[in-house]
Amino acid sequence: MTTQRRYTALDRLVLRLDRAIAPVFGARARAARDNPAAAAPPDSLEAPARRHAAGLIRVDHAGEVSAQALYQGQGLTARDPDIRAGMEASAAEEIDHLVWCGQRLRELDSHPSRLNSLWYLGSFSLGALAGLCGDAWSLGFVAETERQVVAHLDAHLARLPAGDERSRRILVQMRADEQHHATVALEAGARELPAPVRRIMTLCSRVMTTTAYYF
């Protein structure tokens, strides 16, 4: 008779740190869904437009690295197994976003943020801390994060070069997924974060998005 192994908190931490290799360095990451840009025609962007599009997509890729870290950190410290499973399901969808953005960066002859390790470590720590505050607060952190991500994607959709249909299709699907993640968190019992915490999150996000555009 076989027995199912029960993982300790240390076991889960090691497994999550192992999974960190994929979002930070691109190893083993595979999308479960087709790239939304697959059917879009090739672009013919001029060099300045390509650099601008690459900067925006690099920011989005860095955001997905951070999303992986947040969900893994929160999943590690979640108390309710159902909430932990929900975090892991959302993280799986975020891997699709990570892969799609990486593919688009290569099409644009560009690269991911060179600070991805920093974004990952900082976000993992924040996610674990949010989870330690309790599941309702952790879900509130998810809901607020996703709300800010949706607003950020709206801004990028408005700023994309007019002829960049491939990037646009990716961001539109990402926006729909992020909105869904926020809805799931709210329905699971998310608590609204205090205004000072929301402002700090906005400031941290602004630092990351501004820096990742260039680096």
Query: Using 50, 70 and 90 to split pLDDT, how confident is the model at 22?
Result: low
Query: Using 50, 70 and 90 to split pLDDT, how confident is the model at 97?
Result: very high
pLDDT > 60? residue 145: yes
Tokens of 151: 């607003």
User: Cα(108)–Cα(85) distance, rounded to whole angstroms?
Assistant: 35
Alpha helices in 41-133 (DSSP H): 47-77, 81-107, 116-132
Q: What class is the 46-214 domain? A: mainly alpha
Query: Which residues, 6+ apart, have CB-to-CB distance to 168 below 8 Å?
Result: 157, 160
User: Cα(190)–Cα(134) distance, rounded to whole angstroms?
Assistant: 10
Query: Using 50, 70 and 90 to split pLDDT, how confident is the model at 171?
Result: very high
Distinct helix (H) and strand (E) counts, the chain: 8, 0
186 to each of 25, 92, 128, 151, 210, how far by Cα in Å? 32, 19, 19, 17, 29
Q: Nearest to residue 78, comparing CAs of 16, 157, 2, 167?
A: 16
Position 48 scores a pLDDT of: 95
Residue 38 has a CB neighbour count (10 Å cut-off) of 10
pLDDT in tens, 68-92: 888 888 888 888 888 888 777 777 7
Q: Are 120 and 66 in contact (CB under 8 A)?
A: yes
User: Cα(120)–Cα(135) distance, rounded to whole angstroms?
Assistant: 21
User: Cα(31)–Cα(37) distance, rounded to whole angstroms?
Assistant: 13
pLDDT in tens, 26-45: 555 688 899 999 999 988 89
Position 20 scores a pLDDT of: 52
Position 37 scores a pLDDT of: 95
Domain assignments of the chain as residue spans, ordered by start:
46-214
